Amino acid sequence: MHKASSILPECRPGCARYIAYGAGEGLGHSKTIFPLRPGISLRFRQDVAARIRSRIDRGVGDQGSPASRHACCETDSVSDPCVIPFRPRYSVPPLNCWLTGENAVKVGFIGLGAMGAPMLQRLGIAYPGNTFGFDVDADVTAKMSQQAGAHPCTSIVDIAQQCDVLFSCLPNNDVIRAVYLGEGGVVDGVQSGAVTIDCSTVGPDATREVYDGLKKKEVSHIDASMLGSVKQANEGTISFVVGGDEPVFDRVKPVLGACGELIRYCGPSGAGNHMKLIHQTLVAGHAVAVAEAMGLCAETGINIEAFYDIVTQGTGFAYSRYFENRVPRMREDEYSALFMLKFMLKDARLAKDMVPEPGSRYPTLTSVVEALENGVAQGFGEEDFSAVMKVIESRIGRSINS
C-alpha cells in the first residue's frame, strides 16, 4: 500500500488527477501523478476518495486525461473507504510514474546548462532515484547530477541505454544532429520503445531528420520547444509547444508536467519548432519596437517615466510584459542576460529561414534580424536581448538615460 502523503512532499485534493477515470475534476488542479501498475493502491483523504469513487461508479472519465484512458479501478475489492486500488487497462501505461523501484520510469537529461540543470532538478523530485544526467562537460555532469539527486552518466550512449524517457536541451541544429544521429549518439544506445524529448529551439527540418532516424529503431521522438527562461525552469512553469505523434504526446505529457504548466500539442514532428520560432518573431520584433519607441522618447524630449506609466497603466494596446519588465532594467543600464541576444538572433534567423524569399515577403522580420545582427557585431551578443536598445542608442547618437 502506498500512501499518497508518503510519496510526495505535499498531497492536496486532486492528487488523482491523472488516474481513476479522470477523477481530478472538482478535486483541484494539483499536478500530482501516480503510476498505474498491477497491485498499486493509493490512500486518499476520505472525502477525496469518496468523490473519486462516485465518478468511477458513474463511469465518468473515459475521455479524460491520458492516464485515465489506460487504467480502471476496482473499488469493491477493499473495505477501507480511503483506499482506491488500480490496475492497468492496457499493456502500455502512460509514462507517469513518480515511485521508485525497478519498474519505475527512468528519465534522463542531456545538456545541463542554464535550462537543463533546473529541469533535471525538477525531474529528480518527480522521479527520485530514477533520473540520469549528462553534459559534454564532465564537471558539469557531476555537479548538476549531484544537485538533482540524479545518476551521472559518462556518455550519450550511457544515458540513452539507461532511460525510458530522454530529454535534451542543446544549442543548435548541428549539435542536435550529432547528439542524436552521430557516431556515439543517442541512436547507438537508446532502447526500442523509448521516447526522446528535445526541448531545444532548432529548425523543424533538423527535428524531422532526428524523428525519422530514431523511428527506424522503434524509438519515438517529439519536439517540445520551450517558452520561458531560467526563472520559469526553476519554478517548473515552462510552457511546452509540442510536435510529434499525438499518442506519444499523450503518454509523455505527465512527464513534461514535472517541468511545465502549459503543455500544448501543435501537430506532427517539427510543429513545436514552427510554433516556437513564430512566437519568437513576435518577441524579437517587440524588443526592437520597444527600443525604437524609447529612442523616439529620447530624441523628442518626451518624459520616459510618463511614457512608461501611460503604456503600463493606460488603456491603449502598447502594453506588454516585456515592456513592463525590461524598460526599468534599460533605465538602469542593466543588460545582464536573462536570454542572450545571440540566442534571440539564432531564433529569428531560423524563423526567417522557414520560408522562401523572406526579404521581400517579410520585410519587418528581415529588419529585426538586421538589428539583432548589429547588436552581435557591436559586442552585445552575450548580454540580454533587450541590449538591442544599445543598437538604437548608437544609431541616434544618444542614450535614453542621458
Q: Look at phi and psi of residue 379 and say left if phi exceeds 0, alpha if psi is from -120 to 50, else beta.
A: left
Of 276, 346, 352, 390, the active-site residue reads: 276
Nearest 10 degrees: Cα torsion 258, 259, 261, 263: -90
Element holding 133 (H helix, E strand): strand 131-134
Cβ burial, residue 30 (10 Å; 0-12/13-18/19+): middle
CA gyration radius for the chain?
24
Q: Is 276 designated active site?
A: yes
Helix-then-strand count for the chain, H and E: 16, 12
CA distance 180 to 209: 10
CA distance 87 to 99: 16
DSSP 3-state of 43: strand
Between helix 363-377 and helix 388-396 the angle, nearest 10°, is 90
CB 134 within 8 A of CB 107: no
Question: What's the number of CA atoms in the CB half-sphere (13 Å) around residue 39?
Answer: 2
Cell of residue 313, nine digits: 497603466
The strand order across the sheet containing 131-134 reads 151-152, 131-134, 107-110, 165-168, 195-198, 220-227, 238-243, 260-267
Tell me the pairing of strands 151-152 and 131-134. parallel
CB 251 within 8 A of CB 225: no
Contacts of 61-66 spanning 24+ positions with Cβ under 8 A? 61/20, 61/21, 61/22, 61/23, 61/25, 62/21, 62/22, 63/22, 64/21, 64/22, 64/24, 64/25, 65/17, 65/18, 65/22, 65/24, 66/18, 66/94, 66/96, 66/250, 66/251, 66/253, 66/254
Active site residues: 276
